[in-house]
Amino acid sequence: MEPILYSLIAGVSTLLGAILLVFFKSPGNKTLAVLLGFAGGVMLAISFFDLLPEALEFGSALTALIGFLLGAGIMFALDRFIPHAHLSTDQAIDTENVPGGLKPNNHILRIGYLVFLGMALHNIPEGIAIGAGYESSPELGLYIAIAIGLHNVPEGIVVAGLLKAGGLPVFKVLLLTLIAGLMAPVGAGIGLIFFNISPVFVAGGMAFAAGAMVYIVNDELIPQSHKLSSHIAIAGLIAGMMLVFMLHS
């Protein structure tokens, strides 16, 4: 049950982002930049220092390669075809794969629902990544959950911002954001089912997690963090990588 709990922590972080938006002042650009950069550094280091070497121990290089490409490929497909949104400079919201982008207010709620659906689907592979990390060691599963949780806070801000701007009541905004986050435990559960079948699935799952996280870092975390504050983002990235390195020493 621990990987489910870890993925729940990561998923509930989306709700934290929504709470910050609804009830408090959203974090500033520099805070978000270092948050995203740090999460990216941790995820990159875990992918190359832990997940891929562990995948080679549990299976073959071919299994690791297929798993890595599958993880990156699924995240690419979700980004290419599923509606989603990001924070950009001054915390404006940039949408992708949404017909017509942000239109007048009577369309914003529909866009918010589409982005909510996209984030929910996006969280399933993240849950699988947490489960794969836990199969290597409970500590690694927790580190991945924390990194993904940091990444999910700005996502919660984005989804809540669109739903709130569309006129949805606060309770429903928070509920939908929480539901999207709860897809991470669903992903972790799916992963655990496959990991218990064969060591090959464990190896493939670890490589899958690495591929998914490397894609997320390069497609989302690094570009977003640099738009918010590039030098602060670089400092966060280095700090995240060095933290994981020091944990190995």
Q: What is the pLDDT of residues 35-78, one digit of tens each?
A: 888 888 888 888 898 889 888 888 889 999 999 999 899 888 88
The model's pLDDT over 167-201, given as tens digits with 9 standing for 90+, comes to: 888 899 899 999 988 998 988 888 888 777 777 88
The residue with greater pLDDT, 233 or 101, is 233
The residue with greater pLDDT, 89 or 8, is 8
Cα–Cα dist 223/219, whole Å: 7
The residue with greater pLDDT, 219 or 109, is 219
Name residues whose C-beta falls within 8 Å of residue 31's C-beta, 6 or more positions apart in sequence.
none
Check pLDDT > 90 for residue 223: no
Q: CA nearest 153: which of 183, 181, 172, 132?
A: 181
Check pLDDT > 70 for residue 219: yes
Asked whether the beta carbons of 222 and 40 are under 8 A apart, the reply is: yes
Domain range annotation of the chain: 2-248
pTM listed for this prediction: 0.77
Check pLDDT > 60 for residue 105: no
Check pLDDT > 70 for residue 26: no
Check pLDDT > 70 for residue 89: no
Cα–Cα dist 217/223, whole Å: 8
- Scan for tokens 């690791």, then name that residue: 64
* Confidence at residue 65, expressed as pLDDT on a 0 to 100 scale: 94
* Confidence at residue 100, expressed as pLDDT on a 0 to 100 scale: 55
Q: Find the angle CA(192)-CA(196)-CA(200) to the nearest 5 degrees.
A: 105
Number of CB atoms found within 10 A of residue 138's CB: 13
Cα–Cα dist 210/132, whole Å: 9
Cα–Cα dist 111/95, whole Å: 9
Check pLDDT > 80 for residue 238: yes
The model's pLDDT over 113-165, given as tens digits with 9 standing for 90+, comes to: 777 887 788 888 888 888 888 877 888 888 888 888 888 887 788 788 778 87
Average confidence (pLDDT) over 79-102: 62
Looking at residue 98, the DSSP 8-state letter turns out to be -
Check pLDDT > 60 for residue 102: no
For residue 110, give both structure tokens: 């529909």
Helix, strand or coil, per DSSP, at residue 85: strand
Alpha helices in the chain (DSSP H): 2-23, 29-46, 52-58, 61-81, 105-136, 138-165, 170-181, 183-195, 199-216, 222-248
* Confidence at residue 104, expressed as pLDDT on a 0 to 100 scale: 43
- Scan for tokens 């529909």, then name that residue: 110
* Confidence at residue 73, expressed as pLDDT on a 0 to 100 scale: 92
